[in-house]
Amino acid sequence: MSLLDVQNLSLSIAGTPILRDVSLTLAPGEVVAVTGESGSGKSMTALAVMQLLPSAAVATGNITLDGNDMLALDESTLCTLRGDLVGMVFQEPMTALNPVQTIGAQVGETVRLHRPDLDPKMQAREVLDRVGLDAIPLTRYPHELSGGQRQRVVIAIAIACRPKLLIADEPTTALDVTTQAQILDLLKQLAADDGMGLLMITHDLAVVAEMADRITVMHHGEVVEAGDTPALLANPQHPYTQALLAASDHQVDLPQTQKQAPLLRVQNVVRDYTLPRTRLFVPAGTHRAVDDISFDIKRGERVGLVGESGCGKSTLTRAILGLEPVQRGTITLDGTPVTDPSVRRKMQVVFQDPYGSFNPRHRVARLISEPFHLLDTTPDDREARIAAALTDVGLSPEDAQKYPHQFSGGQRQRLAIARALIIRPELVIFDEAVSALDVSVRAQILDLIADLCRQYDLTYLFISHDLSVVRTITDRVLVMKKGQIVEAGETEQVFTQPAHPYTQTLIEAAPTLPGAA
């Protein structure tokens, strides 16, 4: 007898079909993963189970949860089931909590709604202890907690009434690898302790490989394949699943280069931030974001920089770009300090968010030719260069007249790369440039970068929290922790024989697909 039984679920929003004939089942105590890329309908499937769909959504088919016909129940009955029979955890722990209520009140509210006879405060304390927040008082506000702690609070809200089913929608996507490992452990533990069913929605196959009993793969609103985890991963039947698995563990063919003289030199760089003054006559304290960092990037070298949020990698990146004043040390490109305006044209950056980094009202031609402003004169062959830049990144010259919204996320990231390369910079900085992309798109962009290396002998600094990506796309890697570089070396060397305990922790925490090296 299954706890959750979804049969032939179809869903359309304002006439646009989102899901088609989706079926899946989940037995009590079972962990089932629904995976697929963005737009596959996996989150909508989860929201359909909760019956928290957008108001324009029309669902047909059957969703039976513990004997309740979820599509037929009225709203007030559904309210009594949500939070009691089924709880849900969301992707963004930073915004999933009400910022103006204490965590105790928010966890207690679930109890108060469904178990009026119990003391909400005592229950909140108990459930926060269960999710590993025993040191955190109930009176804390969300902004006083870290991302991982907030996600624990969100989980506490969802499991406060010991639901039979927990739905977790990308619960660890926004978290660091070590935090991700802890949260996944916690979810697994809770499911096992309570015999709770766990429906995991995730784009990351490596995450579910270690957790799920069964996997359902979705594509374009349909289930393309479902089965037991080991069997499905070892022997995927559907071409899409095969492609997804290949892309998740994609290895690029990085050309060998001649390493020459140092291009970028970072020497003993220190960046302190002044903390807010706490007393009137006591000097304000400082926070050292970058602590005495030195490294070189040689011409033609591809260097990775990994570290968790708050380790100072963003500050370091900004300092290299000349956007951040440093208190001590020097950063030079070809011998010139990076704060010198003439260096700007030799360095370009590709950012994480392919949606936010383009002005939506400009055409592509104008967007990708922006770096020409850095040159003393606009080149005569501007049009030809734009066409060439677009061709280089796998787009066509005709795309120059389009607007950014006419492109997909992956195509926009190609545009961002075209923009960075159009003036042939000596150094490119990829700042989490593939982190927001689906695995198949990510694989294509990584291939593109390798191609461009072959063509133009790129030198780049590749900043990422994703170790598997850094491993394949770089020659050398720097591991950063608390403002310091704790380990540096040849990428393969660092990954196979990490010397520093922190590097070991990072590599262990990163989820891997079985069979991957």
- Residue 151 Cβ vs another protein, minimum distance, rounded to whole Å: 12
Nearer to another protein, 86 or 436 (CB): 86
Least separation in angstroms between residue 276's CB and another protein is 8
Amino acid identity of 324? E
Cβ 196 to another protein, closest distance in Å?
Answer: 15
Pair 467, 478: CB distance under 8 Å: no
In the complex, minimum distance from the CB of residue 287 to another protein, in angstroms, rounded to a whole number: 16
Considering the complex, state which of residue 114 and residue 412 has its C-beta at the smaller distance from another protein.
114
Q: How many CA atoms lie within 13 A of 66 on its CB side?
A: 15
CB of 423: closest distance to another protein in angstroms?
A: 40
CB closer to another protein out of 26 and 153: 153
Residue 54 or 501: which CB sits closer to another protein? 54
Q: Which residues contact 211 (CB under 8 A, 6 or more apart)?
A: 31, 33, 184, 187, 188, 200
d(CA 407, CA 391): 15
Which tokens belong to 6? 């979804």
Q: Could you tell me if 409 and 218 are in contact, meaning their C-beta atoms sit under 8 angstroms apart?
A: no
Question: Least distance (Å) from another protein to the CB of residue 436?
Answer: 17
Bridge-based pairing of strands 57-65 and 302-306 is unpaired
Pairing of strands 4-13, 16-26: antiparallel
- Please report, as ranges, the residues that interact with another protein according to CB under 8 A: 50, 52, 75-76, 79-84, 87-88, 90, 92, 95-101, 109-110, 113-114, 141, 143-144, 154, 157-158, 160, 276
Nearer to another protein, 44 or 461 (CB): 44
DSSP state of 373: G
Nearest to 108 by CA among 143, 160, 152: 160
Q: Closer to another protein at the Cβ: 283 or 335?
A: 283
Q: How far apart are CA 243 and CA 238, in angstroms?
A: 9
* Smallest gap from residue 179 Cβ to another protein (A): 18
* Residue placing its CB nearer to another protein in the complex, 55 or 396: 55
Closest approach, Cβ 156 to another protein, in A, equals: 11
Q: Is the dihedral of CA 408, 409, 415, 421 positive or negative?
A: negative
Give the DSSP letter of residue 82: B
Supply the DSSP string of 399-468, one letter for each residue. Answer: GGGS-GGGS-HHHHHHHHHHHHHTT--SEEEEESTTTTS-HHHHHHHHHHHHHHHHHH---EEEE-S-HH
> Hey, CA dihedral for 88, 94, 95, 98, is it positive or negative?
positive
Question: Cβ 141 to another protein, closest distance in Å?
Answer: 4
**Cα–Cα distance for residue pair 197/214, rounded to 1 Å:** 12
For another protein, which is the closer residue by CB, 49 or 320? 49
Q: Nearer Cβ to another protein, position 71 or 96? A: 96
